[in-house]
Structure 1
Amino acid sequence: MLKTISRENKRALGSLIRLERIKAGITREQMIFDNQGKSICSISTLYRLEKGDVIQDDIIYLELIKRLNKVYENNGFLDNAISDLNDKLMNYFETLNAAEADCLLAYIKSFNKVKSFYYQQIFAGYLDILCVNLNQKKLTSEEYEYYKKMMVFMPEPYNVLLLHLCFCYANNYNQDISEMHSYEALLTKYQNYLIIQVDILILLKCEHRLFEYQKVHSEVLKEIDKRNLINQKCKVLSFHVGAIAIMQKLDLNRVLNELEQLIFKEKQFLNPVIYNNTLVALAMIYYVDIKDYNKATALFEKLLIEDFTKIYSSGIYYFSSCDLINIKPSPEIINRIDTNHASVYLQYFYYKYSKNLSLPDLIHYLKTKVLDELKKNGNQLKISVFKSQWNLLISENTKKYYKDYYRFIKNFE
């Protein structure tokens, strides 16, 4: 016999029914009748239920879920597992311990066969939250919108985990400041969570709110040091280096030294992903802000020894850095590049060094494929990389290629 559905579960169930109804393309008028045409409830009752009001009759919930071709069963074991996973995931997002992540992933996947409505959606969310963090998945825009809506009605702290997931998507993929800013009220509401405090730092940096940023950064670092969260400290400091480079350059060398000492002293205790991401941050600071291309090249090479897959996101800056100090890139690095996974930008450098393309062929590649890609998806940093390439190439024959160079540059003025 089915146990009574708890009031807490009913609040979430009603809103979840609405999400799944919309996802299935079912109108409210259609939803209130079962598959045999029998009335389940009135439209006004469905409306109240979907906005989170508690309806006393459990049968209405069960029939609406059945209308979605799904089933629901109360399950005390799964309720306990959800409570346990909330605690474990919150702890992981504070420690960022790699071994802990592996255990968590295996634990979450053990619930893959759960088919009960509500529980199925919750465990799918857990899996996405962790897999996105581990770079094993990128949300689709539809999944992002789904979790944004789910976040509003799910109980704490599950909603906080979804808030972190959605904010990170807005930052990493949408890269839309106004979209990120739309989360500020919720981030502030849940700022007692360390993962949310770090998200607030990201928002303040992106909006160049220096005074608020410095205050929050100081508080976060104090908490991290108090609890000896080495991975979190490394992550926050690598982010801080980028913030200081934008907002307060006088402190840049001091913060860089602190971060470099931390990662080389604590390397054996660091999550490899955190360590490698920190190397990226350091290399890019030396490349973009300090313009110490010798140091940038050395850091990029250290990074690619640790994690060669970073060549596909950071490789063009490594090759550009080599060019700017007039040294040949490592043949071992060039030969390992899989052009099937390489961007148009990276392919340019691969062909330049691996295939020894002639000057006219390189110019043609810049004028066509690189230019087209920059127009569609370029940013100022990528544009600057290829402006430098033009300067290097036309120095060999300025008169012959100046018009081509001028036409290229004209697109970005």
Structure 2
Amino acid sequence: MTTDDSDPKDAYPTLDLALRVGELLLSSGAGAADVTAQMQNVCIACGLRGVTTGVTFTELQLTYQESPDRPALIQFRDVRQREIDYEDLTRVDLLVRALIAGSVDRDEARSRLAQIVSSGHDRRRSIVTLGWGAMGFGVGLLLNGTPVVVAAAVVGAIGIDVLQRWLTRMRLPFFYQQVTGGLFATLLATLVVGADLSSRPSQIVAAGIIMLLAGVSFMGAVQDALTGFPLTAAARCMEATLATAGAIAGVSGGLTIATAFGVEVVNLTPGAAPYGSPGEMALGGAITASAFAFASYAPVRALLPSAVIGAVSTTAFMVSHRAGLGVSWPSAIAAVIVGLISFTIASRVRVPTLVFVVAGVVPLLPGLSIYRGLAHLSAEAPGGLIELVNAGVILLALAAGVIFGEYVAQPVRREGRRLERKLSGPRLVGPLTVRSVRRRRKKAV
């Protein structure tokens, strides 16, 4: 459906549709470049050209001026952060592609978008909680945990999810939810150690921390920084830092409480590699990645590819780590591979690349490094600050590695070399441009 240029009021529905699409993308972790491109694509597909886009971390703006002698039409939309929902993200991505391809018009797209936002999920929330438990199981395998450690990791992941849901209903800010999660994971480890069931509290805490680390926000922050949106990148980085700081504060508080009760939970085993065999690592990575995707409401068709990407990323990490490259460089190498594979698989499975990217790096998040740094500081031992800095370097390496993998993979696509010079950056959500999609459709006819 094209917009009637003689009636400026007809532009409002198009602007509103584009803003609602951008709101869902931004709240689900998409980068500002992706959000800008897809809002522009929606406007162009509906026949509205010359629209100016403004994207910040909490607000979207679209401005349209038909001619210099007429007033500009401006619409804003606040972005309310909410739970990551890859099912809605995938549905909106497919809707935008259908609108660009011309198979739906603007009014039908508005109706479908309203249904997507207002409808619930077929996947029950209790099943999603079990999905987080499965993720804890996978992380326990990644850390070469004993059966007791793996069981505690499952209980910890389920408990953290239940607690955070309850705190969300109580409208407690997200920072305090993170503090509660870190505290719960540490107190659970304290109980296990106090009952003489395990001597590896670090693995129990690390399994819980990985669930709390802000991998999605770090991905968006790095992408925004690389694609020319420094203000949005800074805001995302602040959110991610605050979320991680909350988890760190919770763990620190738990260690203090454990020390006050005379329970020693600072078994760091410095220098000892916590990783298991390559087979265990691959299995743990596959379970962790697919369980995270499942718990984030990713479509069922995305679970097996997520498992494959998780297994490949952890295997690549182990190979590089055992080659003597340390931890940061193997994390970056594995992240580049995740970006390469995710970009290739996403178009075939019809799921946004962002889903596979985040699921693929979750097994590599540095929960153990953060725990060790806090435990060192709590015990007044040297090296605590170094461990925390190392964890930050790993997070940056993962995010930058994934984006670099996207840059490398992008020109490999069949139409990539023709469009490469026109693109501002890799797309983790949505098609490249309206013209490229319609050009392919015309050639097919």
TM-score range, shorter chain: under 0.3
**TM-score between both structures, scaled by the size of structure 2:** 0.25
Greater relative contact order: 1 or 2 (C-alpha under 8 angstroms, separation 6 or more)?
Answer: 2
Q: Who wins on radius of gyration, i.e. which is larger?
A: 1
**TM-score between both structures, scaled by the size of structure 1:** 0.26
